[in-house]
A and B are shown apart, each in its own frame.
Chain A
């Protein structure tokens, strides 16, 4: 019996061909097989949101999926958002508003926010709070994260107008 599968997954624009066990979690695949350790694992039962990635553009818990399910799909992780020298506007806003403390939950929050801000360019405080209510942060009390999202929304809609 064949107990491994060949998969092809596009992550952050790069295509990866790998052979994996069917039980390998997508989170472990990203972290271990692709060395994309920016995706963090906080609970492995789909509650904390730290492992959130974009799966064909939609936020998904990578700990609740198997790597084989990603075959033929596109994934974006935090590493695909911006770089240290050129932060994504949401990352820049998190820095400006002090939306990061220990930074462990941050990648999952950033990936949750990318499609949210595309769909809601002018969110109010309550919209933002509901958007991130599936991500647990133990450090910030969320306030500076909410502030950061407001700043990011302003920046992004201003640059869209330009």
Chain B
């Protein structure tokens, strides 16, 4: 049956509130009597905390309280590990060291919170922070990943023997044997540096403990309100029903807002209980640079073994991954890197050894892409270099190596970030490649346009790379769908929303089943008082996992609607249809009843019901996939380099994306555009510069360059639709797809644009300065 709502370009129902300044963000929460917090933070990356003198600050009018680690007493304890190490791989080493609410003895990264001031206003709280004297004895900072693992290195955690946080080896086939048979080995060191998620809204939290009702309400810019509620209840000794966590409109997530139990998330609710007052803390941009989690830093010693005709025999990758000062997020990022280091290709032999390293830098946790861009960078770069050596064109070498469409489900024989087997559920990679090559005009550029422009002295290059994106991982999400007496439908789900259009795309899923208009579906997300089972919005899983839970709930409600209508209309269920909010007998349209009337009948206020009757037209359902679906696609671009300034201009950018069933192509394309923009930042503008003392040198938006409308090109998006067999909607995630392949694409296109320089790009992020160095400082 043709879909009426799913797959349609429906404009968003949440927009009017956002467009008129009427949407609630955390910083908009105002409560009478609310106090404001500001944190005293370490100027050093690594230091012993000798003493703190808060006496002057206490004297300042308007200061209500100051707390240090010592003042927290027995309530001081490090945060919970958020993700456990993989249980199914033998010989895995994992040293769990989690972040602390306030520094007790030793500072482990610049910006780490040492004390908190609570005052009548944020202005006064910040004044008081300046009054506090902290005596720190600086230590040598652990910054460089390779040096960190040398025996003579100072230690980030003194109770460990080394700065090794974790060690994990994953293997498939026999790489050593494959290497013996290879005609060509391409071996390179690949370096990937740090960037920031830099959501436009900084983090924030408002905690309101009401002593009379013994109830705690927390508004938090989190992607995962339910785990925060559960964790807070456990820490504060409250029942889960005494704690409500609300993630209202959140101004961009991109991963770091998932990292539950930041220091501030532990301290502010605790203080609200302690002081019996509502307390607000809003991160400023400088804090966002220092103490919101970061990602991507890895050093790879990678090699690819190939035959003369460009077929991959195997890949070996020995790499270091920077965990920063603590490792609450386990091995998610390096596992993702391992799982994407084979890209879209049929790689029979694979060896991957990762050492995770503690350093005196901010903690790393997933940022849009989450380890995947690194894996894709590695495999695409090695393949490009092999193609050059073998004289095969980049399109052709990819075509030769793809996992063939009849090989799905394709088992990679390693484990993924959810510790499930890495199985690619479905895919058909060649059509996406060919469509992208066609859209960018690949052959025409290579044969005519490119040589022509080069003859004019211009440095114009083309690139084309493929990627995969594991998405929609478990464990599960749930939803409750209710038809109300008005005939409108209420949906509650646990995931938070940060701009992905959930209010609309989830409404489309419900409208499809219940025959109502999308605008008649009201969605509540991210409020634990409304729905309290689930995990959160991450890993490109919202549409897949929550979407299918909502689909299942709506199907169950549909069943109840038809059953009741069949009794009322005295017609068999299979002769009924639901449209425009009415249930009617297909052949006799005048025999009908509205959903609202049925909802009233399903909830009688007088009289007797059959024993066992459940009231209302309501259902709750859950969805948990055995493993996640894998989306894929190809990006291509033409860029021009100005060799005087090393600025690049992207002349054309093409994405062909296949994420299974599309719920709303308008929203989907928006996700792709935004992902590509972030990828462009990752590739050519955005790098966090830490010096040898662990100081971040560019902690402002004036110094850390996020692409603006003049750096980001128009992106042409083409769609393919290979459904996932793993869920009823056939959907896969798309949230991170735009970002993942961009650095690899930049590298290929830059090399292509600058043939006379014999350039080999083995690092990301680049920048105009860095490209200049690569060209002239050889």
Contact = CB atoms under 8 A, between A and B. Distances in A.
Contacts of A107: 21
A87 interface: yes
A81 interface: yes
A72 interface: no
A42 interface: yes
A130 B710 CA distance: 6
A134 B249 CA distance: 24
B169 interface: no
A47 B20 contact: no
Contacts of A94: 15, 19
Given A42-B701, A91-B20, A143-B715, 12 more contacts: A40-B201, A79-B20, A81-B20, A96-B11, A98-B670, A106-B18, A110-B19, A130-B709, A138-B674, A139-B670, A142-B677, A143-B714
A48 B202 CA distance: 12
B187 interface: no
Nearest to A137: B200
Contacts of A105: 200, 251
Interface residues on B, range: 35 or more
A23 B127 CA distance: 12
Given A45-B700, A45-B702, A104-B25, A141 B677 contact: yes
Contacts of A48: 200, 285, 701
A71 interface: no
Contacts of B22: 38, 79, 84
Contacts of B253: 102
B678 interface: yes
B20 A82 contact: yes
Contacts of A45: 285, 700-702
B249 A102 contact: yes
A135 to B, nearest CB: 8
Contacts of A84: 16-17, 20, 22
Interface string B632-645: 00000000000000
Contacts of B667: 98
Interface in A10-58: 21, 23-24, 31-32, 35-45, 47-48, 50
A91 B498 CA distance: 20
Nearest to B672: A141
Contacts of A42: 200-202, 251, 285, 701
Interface string B239-268: 000000000011111100000000000000
B676 interface: yes
A159 interface: no
A101 B678 CA distance: 14
A132 B18 CA distance: 18
7 contacts: A37-B25, A87-B16, A98-B11, A102-B200, A129-B709, A141-B670, A142-B673
A25 B123 CA distance: 10
A77 B21 contact: yes
Interface string B547-589: 0000000000000000000000000000000000000000000
B366 interface: no
Nearest to B713: A143
Contacts of B23: 103
Contacts of A101: 252, 499-501, 670, 674
Which of A78, A83, A102 has most B Cβ within 10 Å? A102
A47 to B, nearest CB: 4
B19 A141 contact: no
Contacts of B167: none
Contacts of A82: 19-20
Contacts of A142: 673, 677, 708-709, 712
A102 B12 contact: no
Contacts of B27: 31, 37, 40-41
Contacts of A69: none
Contacts of B501: 101
Cβ-closest 6 pairs across A and B = A38-B21, A104-B251, A102-B499, A103-B18, A141-B673, A101-B499
A135 B200 CA distance: 10
B199 A138 contact: yes
Given A82-B20, A87-B19, A143-B715, A35 B30 contact: yes
Interface string B709-721: 1101011000000
A98 B110 CA distance: 39
A130 B712 CA distance: 11
A140 interface: yes
Contact of B706 (A37, A40, A77, A138): A138
Contacts of B19: 78, 82, 87, 91, 94-95, 100, 103, 106, 110
Contacts of A36: 21
B456 interface: no
Size range of the chain A interface in the assembly: 35 or more
B328 interface: no
B200 A104 contact: yes
A155 interface: no
- Report which residue of A84, A98, A144 has the largest number of chain B beta carbons within 10 angstroms of its beta carbon: A98
Contacts of B712: 141-143
Interface string B741-768: 0000000000000000000000000000
Contacts of B676: 141
B601 interface: no
A79 B21 contact: yes
Contacts of A156: none
A146 interface: yes
A145 interface: yes
B709 A132 contact: yes
A136 interface: yes
B200 A50 contact: yes
B309 interface: no
B660 interface: no
Contacts of A40: 25, 27, 200-201, 251
Query: Which of A47, A107, A143 lies at the interface centre, i.e. has the most chain B CB atoms within 10 A of its CB?
Result: A143
Contacts of A81: 20
B691 interface: no
Interface in B183-213: 198-202
A133 interface: yes
A140 B498 CA distance: 12
A128 B714 CA distance: 13
Interface string B676-718: 1110000000000000000000001110001011101011000
Contacts of A130: 709-710
A17 B708 CA distance: 38
B132 interface: no
Given A133-B708, A138-B678, A102 B17 contact: no
B406 interface: no
A37 B250 CA distance: 14
A66 B446 CA distance: 56
Greatest chain B CB density within 10 A among A32, A40, A106, A139 is at: A139
Contact of A139 (B30, B499, B702, B708): B499
Contacts of B28: 31, 37
A41 B287 CA distance: 14
